[in-house]
Amino acid sequence: MRKEISIQSKLENISFIEKLVDEVSEQCTLSSDIYGKVLIATIEAVNNAIVHGNKSDIHKMVNVCVQISDTLIHIYVKDQGPGFNYDDVPDPTTPENLENISGRGVFLMKNLADQIIFDCNGSHVELIFKIK
């Protein structure tokens, strides 16, 4: 199964992504634990795409594609920004970064998804979740 959605780079459009994850959860009968991980990681990825990738430019789009197999969910989030150095994101759990809001989204995605892949200099993110 495959589902796709494109949204303008406005934070209020994240509600469309929440609905998409709800549909996927219903179709896959995800446990509440997996549903929570998929929802939070996907919202973080889309939020980063809107705010950091596309700089909240409503003329730029964020594309989200969900591919579901018997055992995995792949979620692809693509923005139209220049990307970023995903290996250079500060660890938000270190004492010097505890009050810094930067880097929390990537940290959450890495810790909630079973696998995360950055491509195109970080403007494309693939989140992979095991569902069985």
Note whether 61 and 8 are within 8 A (CB).
yes
pTM of the model: 0.91
| Amino acid identity, position 49 | A
SS3 state at 60: coil
| CATH topology for the 2-130 domain | Heat Shock Protein 90 (3.30.565)
Angle between helices 32-48 and 14-28 (to 10 degrees): 150
Per-residue pLDDT of the chain (132 residues; tens, 9 = 90+): 899 999 999 999 999 999 999 999 999 999 999 999 999 999 999 999 999 999 999 999 999 999 999 999 999 999 999 988 767 766 666 666 556 666 678 889 999 999 999 999 889 999 999 998
Give the span between the Cα atoms of 105 and 45, in whole angstroms.
7
Instruction: Pull the structure tokens for residue 107.
Output: 């940290």
